Amino acid sequence: MFITFEGCEGVGKSRQIKELENYLKTNGIPYYLTREPGGTPVSEQIRKVILDGKNTSMTDECEALLYASARVQLLKEVVKPKLDAGELVLCDRYIDSSLAYQGYARGLGVDFVEKINDYAIKNFMPDFTVFLDLPPELAFKRKGGVDKNDRLELSGMDFHQKVYQGYKDLAKKYSSRFIVIDASGTREQTHQKIIDALKEKGVI
- Which residues of the chain form contacts with ligand TYD (CB under 6 A)? 9, 13-14, 36-37, 51, 67, 92-93, 97-98, 101-102, 152
Q: How far is the CB of 75 from ligand TYD (least distance, A)?
A: 12
Closest approach of Cβ 3 to ligand TYD, in Å?
15
13 vs 132: CA distance, rounded Å: 7
Question: Minimum CB separation from ligand TYD for residue 28, in Å?
Answer: 28
**Pick 9 or 137: Cβ nearer ligand TYD:** 9
**Among residues 109, 6, 119, which one has the least CA distance to residue 61?**
109
Are 37 and 81 spatial neighbours (Cβ–Cβ below 8 Å)? no
Choice between 9 and 29, CB closer to ligand TYD:
9
Q: In the complex, what is the shortest distance from the CB of residue 1 to ligand TYD, in angstroms, rounded to a whole number? A: 19
Nearer to ligand TYD, 6 or 128 (CB): 6
- Listed in sequence order, the residues at least 6 apart from 17 whose beta carbon sits closer than 8 Å to its beta carbon are 5, 33, 90, 92
Nearer to ligand TYD, 36 or 193 (CB): 36
State the burial class of residue 130 (Cβ atoms within 10 Å of its Cβ: 0-12, 13-18, 19+): buried
